[in-house]
Chain A
């Protein structure tokens, strides 16, 4: 058995059955060994597509995503996808070939110091020097990637190591996940006391809730207490669908209701959220009247950006279960003491939420992005997985698509990677072959990884692609309109190819809609068709995302429906 075979053995041992990759010179021993194995290898058409597809696979499945590339440009092309996973704490195992050991450091053909280049975007990385270490390293890498705060782990393998015979072939014991940290009873008691003393408590939850598999516990807590809830982009779906006390996303493009609730609350309970600048706006003015409880599994996140009254480093799942138990006997007290606040938040939601009334659509007019997404949400099957790209359409999905769980909403939160959506949809469809998967993209983002349409064709994936086309880099145009005195610079995309023709060139069905009265038929056709299909939606070019908070400003300075 050589090093390459040891990698594949390790995949089998750790139940890794799907990987995303692209072959090349130094990784060829692995591809040579792959031919006789049962691992399903998905050949993407660009290494960035491999990394982002592995990311989408991990998000949709809750399992580790694996991507493979060769040395040099193969490895560097992975970087954006790996950085994307790092920023959103997605577990990835990244395998790259490297030039033979004797050539490392000689500027050999397709040599890059990929370990050095990627230090800032991985939880850990290895440059393997001895093939005998491969089983142990892969086991450790998987444990690291999936435990605690998840993230990508990179294994760089020189070609000679892949080809080396392994002397020690003893099976490696499965690496045990480190025990998750539970909150001390005393801190949980303090948290409960603070909740009971508060008149205006507010839950602020993020992506950590889903990553710690604590969505059920959070929803039970919300059901018990009815404490008003706001969430980050990655926390969308945490509260469940149509939950009365959920005010939706906060922050730069959050609902006015959510931002006002944060402004007014006297206790902010941050759960698996990291006070990101897109969520908080000017952080010194965030939640100005509130005491803050911050619960996170990562000690480095607590107090990083905002001082808090009570910090709790804990598994979210166990903490939420603990305070649920503690609050059960106080439920009536809590309901009474916070009734006025809850009624106020309900009023905020009615007047400043994202709900769209049925008569806001002008059937004869152009298509408005929010109206389209709102209709899509109402017509999509309940178990639909939506992957977004980055820009205006991403925010409209966050605002107007209703998700029952965060696992259904795949969005590049931390890095904001245009081009994420299409490969992520491929990963999601492979992770969940029986569920409808929709990639909602923009005319800018879709072109960033358009080559992955070939991957959809190759594997016959029934992915639905929706391109909301305003012939511009819409979010940049919007900010130039509002904050750069309409000095539009390099945002015109009116020379994009005809998307329906492009789809057909990749063997995909396509349909174009241009007016509001065609939206329903377009969406229904999309879901009625069994295979892959692209829906080209021409939308109003001047439509903006509202509200918007100017970067660096306080969330209370939301701008809505007018120029700044």
Chain B
């Protein structure tokens, strides 16, 4: 399953590391990532893949002190890779 995670957080030292670490440890792989500061908040959008619950990942991210909000949108369901003849 592939999802887009939106995450808003205080751009404190180590905040991005914490977010990436939680995402990895909770069983997800990051495919793309984009982040920029807007109105003193860092807004991060990342495409992640994984088989576990994305809502739970957002709950885990929201436990981080800097993170104010995390949400996800499902984009693509994974399909078995088809081998070419």
Mark A residues whose CB is within 8 Å of B: 115-116, 119-120, 123-125, 127, 144, 149, 298-300, 303-304
Contact of B59 among A116, A125, A127, A299 (CB under 8 A): A299
Mark B residues whose CB is within 8 Å of A: 13-14, 17-18, 21, 25, 53, 55-56, 59-60, 62-65
CA distance A399 to B55 in the complex (A): 37
CA distance A230 to B25 in the complex (A): 30
CA distance A123 to B53 in the complex (A): 22
CA distance A144 to B59 in the complex (A): 17
Q: Name the B residues within 8 Å of A115 (CB-CB).
A: 13-14
A181 CB to nearest B CB, Å: 13
- Whether A119 and B14, one on each chain, are in contact in the complex, defined by CB atoms closer than 8 angstroms, is yes
A150 CB to nearest B CB, Å: 12
Given A300-B56, A303-B53, A303-B56, A119 and B63 contact (CB-CB distance below 8 Å): no
Contact of A300 among B13, B18, B60 (CB under 8 A): B60
CA distance A261 to B25 in the complex (A): 33
CA distance A116 to B21 in the complex (A): 10
CA distance A149 to B62 in the complex (A): 13
- Whether A125 and B14, one on each chain, are in contact in the complex, defined by CB atoms closer than 8 angstroms, is yes
| Chain A minimum-CB-distance residue to B13 | A127
Q: Name the B residues within 8 Å of A127 (CB-CB).
A: 13-14
CA distance A299 to B25 in the complex (A): 18
| Chain A minimum-CB-distance residue to B56 | A304
CA distance A477 to B21 in the complex (A): 35
Q: Name the A residues within 8 Å of B13 (CB-CB).
A: 115, 127
CA distance A144 to B64 in the complex (A): 11
For the complex of A and B, list the 8 residue pairs with the smallest distance between their C-beta atoms, beginning with the closest: A300-B59, A124-B65, A299-B59, A300-B60, A119-B21, A304-B56, A119-B18, A300-B63
- Whether A144 and B14, one on each chain, are in contact in the complex, defined by CB atoms closer than 8 angstroms, is no
- Whether A116 and B14, one on each chain, are in contact in the complex, defined by CB atoms closer than 8 angstroms, is yes
Q: Name the A residues within 8 Å of B63 (CB-CB).
A: 123, 149, 298, 300
- Whether B65 and A144, one on each chain, are in contact in the complex, defined by CB atoms closer than 8 angstroms, is yes
| Chain A minimum-CB-distance residue to B66 | A124
Q: Name the A residues within 8 Å of B18 (CB-CB).
A: 119
Q: Name the A residues within 8 Å of B17 (CB-CB).
A: 116, 119
A339 CB to nearest B CB, Å: 39
- Which residue, of A116, A127, A299, has the highest number of chain B Cβ atoms within 10 A? A299
Q: Name the A residues within 8 Å of B56 (CB-CB).
A: 300, 303-304
Q: Name the A residues within 8 Å of B14 (CB-CB).
A: 115-116, 119, 125, 127
CA distance A125 to B55 in the complex (A): 25
| Chain B minimum-CB-distance residue to A127 | B13
| Chain B minimum-CB-distance residue to A123 | B65
Q: Name the A residues within 8 Å of B65 (CB-CB).
A: 123-124, 144
B46 CB to nearest A CB, Å: 17
